[in-house]
Structure 1
Amino acid sequence: MGQEPAARQVIAREVILVTGAGRGIGRAAAERLARGGAAVGVLDIVPELAEETAATVKAAGGLALALPCDVADRGGVMDAAGTLSAAFGPLTGVVNDAMWIRYGPVDQLAEPDLDRMLAVGLKGPIWGVQALLAHRSDGPVSVVNIASPVADLGMANTVAYTAVKGAIAAITRQLAVELGPQGVRVNAVTPGAVPTPGARSIVDEAGYAKRRAQTPLGRLGEESEIAAAIAFLCGPDAGFITGEVLHVDGGITVKSM
Structure 2
Amino acid sequence: MTKAMLRDMEGRVALITGAGAGIGRATALQLAARGAVVGVNDLKDALVEETVAAITAQGGQAFGVVKNVATREEMTAAVDEAYARHQRLDILVNNAAWVRYQSVGEIMPETVDRMLDIGFKAVLWGIQAAAARMDAERGGAIINVASVAALRSAGSSMVYSGIKAGVLGITRAAAAELGERNIRVNAVCPSAVPTEGTQRNRNAERDAGRVAKTPMGRLGTVDDIAGTICFLASDAAQFTTAQALVVDGGITFTNI
TM-score normalised by L of structure 2 = 0.92
C-alpha distance after superposition, 1:24-48 (max 9, x if no partner): 0000001100001111110111111
Residue 203 of structure 1: aligned partner: 202
| 1:207 positional shift | 2.4
Alpha-carbon distance in 2 for matches of 1:14, 1:137: 12
Establish whether residue 145 from structure 1 lines up as the match of residue 154 from structure 2.
no
Q: 1:119 aligns with which of 87, 99, 117?
A: 117
> More displaced, 193-202 or 235-244?
193-202
CA contact (8 A) 2:17 2:40 kept: yes
| 1:256 positional shift | 4.1
What are the residue-to-residue correspondences of 1:47-196 with 2, within 5 Å? 47-138=45-136, 139-196=138-195
| 1:93 positional shift | 1.2
Residue 3 of structure 2: aligned partner: none
Alpha-carbon distance in 1 for matches of 2:155, 2:190: 18
Residue 36 of structure 1: aligned partner: 34
Give SS of 1:197's match. coil
| 1:49 positional shift | 0.3
Which one-letter code corresponds to 1:208 in the other structure? Answer: D
CA contact (8 A) 2:14 2:37 kept: yes
Alpha-carbon distance in 1 for matches of 2:240, 2:117: 28
C-alpha distance after superposition, 1:121-154 (max 9, x if no partner): 0011111112212322341201100111111112
Give SS of 1:125's match. helix
> More displaced, 79-88 or 35-44?
79-88
Give SS of 1:157's match. coil
| 1:83 positional shift | 1.7
C-alpha distance after superposition, 1:166-216 (max 9, x if no partner): 111121111111111121100011112210110112222222222222212
Task: State the number of aligned residues.
Answer: 246
Structure 1 residue runs without a partner (length 5+): 1-11
Alpha-carbon distance in 1 for matches of 2:253, 2:217: 13
CA contact (8 A) 2:124 2:170 kept: no
Which one-letter code corresponds to 2:93 in the other structure? Answer: V
Alpha-carbon distance in 2 for matches of 1:69, 1:205: 35
| 1:218 positional shift | 1.6
CA contact (8 A) 2:101 2:157 kept: yes
| 1:81 positional shift | 1.7
Alpha-carbon distance in 2 for matches of 1:42, 1:90: 15
C-alpha distance after superposition, 1:191-248 (max 9, x if no partner): 1221011011222222222222221212101111111100000011100000111111
TM-score normalised by L of structure 1 = 0.92
| 1:74 positional shift | 1.4
Identity %: 41
Give SS of 1:40's match. strand
CA contact (8 A) 1:47 1:68 kept: yes
Which one-letter code corresponds to 2:221 in the other structure? Answer: E
Which one-letter code corresponds to 1:210 in the other structure? Answer: G
Alpha-carbon distance in 2 for matches of 1:47, 1:125: 21
Alpha-carbon distance in 2 for matches of 1:140, 1:182: 6
Which one-letter code corresponds to 1:32 in the other structure? Answer: Q
Alpha-carbon distance in 2 for matches of 1:152, 1:83: 34
Runs of 4+ in 1 over 6 A off after TM superposition: none
Q: CA RMSD in A?
A: 1.3
CA contact (8 A) 1:147 1:190 kept: yes
Which one-letter code corresponds to 1:225 in the other structure? Answer: D
C-alpha distance after superposition, 1:11-31 (max 9, x if no partner): x62111100100000000011
Which one-letter code corresponds to 1:249 in the other structure? Answer: D
